[in-house]
Amino acid sequence: MRFEVLILGSSSATPIYGRHPTAQLININEQLYLLDCGEGTQVQLIKYGIRSNRIKHIFISHLHGDHYLGLIGLISSMHLVGRKEELHIYGPPALQEIIDLHFLHSQTVLRYPLLFHPTQDQTGESILENEHILVSSFPLDHRIACTGFRFDEKKRMPTIDRTKTEAIGIPTAYLPLIKRGNDYTASDGTVYRWQELTLPPPIPRSYAYCSDTVMTERYLPFIQGVDLLYHEATFLHDMLNRAVETFHTTARQAGQIATKVQARKLLIGHYSARYKDLKPLLEESKSIFPNTDLALEGNWYNV
């Protein structure tokens, strides 16, 4: 099953050096989810060949402009190209007020249902579940209310070991039952345990997204053991004071966090405009957590 992240925006506050404000697209089994939506996200989607109407769920971490100012343009364009399907938006309660105020004054009545789900930044919370995934939000520590998001793939059923079932001659009608954990009794009375007839499913994968936060212990339990951890790394560690003052993280700290939570891989982003060259950020994080990669726009990252 596909589980990948496309970076649409990797810049912090201002667009610069061809980098855009934060947005990421998650593809889980061809279902698309958008994480944050900085200004210009709809143009980035076009650039990377993504039809925006394939997106069904948008998650906004917080109300700093570089994380949501592309949202109204995107939902307006979805309306203009004739979307009919529901769109779910998850974000701080005030985001609904902002969206409503815009559509009040532009006198727009969307042609599709927009369902708003307010998030809160006090505790971790499951916010979406479907056949493939469970999405939860969790509190980050930023200057204003901010949540991270975690995507956990659901445990899948085992797959049938066809070589065995065919050798025994089990009719295909029984296979779904075996997948669900039922043993098979042959006509001669032999009982085959379902475990013998199946192969173990792939281990569920997980992705956590920490958009803007100062480094604290509080949110670490929520990102424990993720396969891929995206964590902001706005500054190099020589700017630690500035990072703390602005409630951001350094590349070294991102590496420390990935180590602490035993992530398999770390992706850093949200680069300050002071870094045209990103190599020093990558090297600093790698010195602590070797399996670090830079979030680069247009790249897909496997979870």
Residues near a copy of itself (CB under 8 A) are 13-16, 20-21, 39-40, 42-43, 46, 63-66, 69-70, 72-73, 76-77, 80-81, 92, 94, 97-98, 101-102, 105-107, 143-144
Distance CA 271, CA 154 (A): 32
Nearer to a copy of itself, 18 or 189 (CB): 18
The CB-of-289 to a copy of itself minimum distance in angstroms stands at 29
To 10 degrees, what angle do helices 93-105 and 71-80 make? Answer: 50
Could you tell me if 149 and 59 are in contact, meaning their C-beta atoms sit under 8 angstroms apart? yes
Nearer to a copy of itself, 203 or 296 (CB): 296
Contacting residues for 249 by C-beta, under 8 A, at least 6 apart: 213, 214, 215, 231, 232, 233, 234, 235, 243, 257
The CB-of-294 to a copy of itself minimum distance in angstroms stands at 21
Distance CA 248, CA 64 (A): 13
The CB-of-260 to a copy of itself minimum distance in angstroms stands at 29
Distance CA 285, CA 250 (A): 9
The CB-of-232 to a copy of itself minimum distance in angstroms stands at 16
Q: Hey, which residues are catalytic here?
A: 66
Structure tokens, 85: 């399907």
Nearer to a copy of itself, 69 or 175 (CB): 69
270, 273, 279, 281: CA torsion to nearest 10: -50
Structure tokens, 151: 């995507």
The CB-of-216 to a copy of itself minimum distance in angstroms stands at 19
Nearer to a copy of itself, 63 or 134 (CB): 63
- Please provide the size of the chain in residues: 303
Which residues line the annotated binding site? 62, 64, 66-67, 142, 212, 270
Query: Strand 184-185 vs strand 228-232: parallel, antiparallel, or unpaired?
Result: unpaired
Structure tokens, 182: 């039922």
Nearer to a copy of itself, 140 or 226 (CB): 140
Provide the H-helix boundaries in the chain: 41-47, 71-80, 93-105, 162-168, 175-179, 194-197, 240-245, 251-260, 279-286
Which residues line the annotated binding site for Zn(2+)? 62, 64, 66-67, 142, 212, 270
Neighbours of 74 (CB within 10 A): 21
Nearer to a copy of itself, 80 or 168 (CB): 80
The CB-of-86 to a copy of itself minimum distance in angstroms stands at 21
Query: Residue type at 9?
Result: G
Contacting residues for 4 by C-beta, under 8 A, at least 6 apart: 26, 27, 300, 301, 302, 303
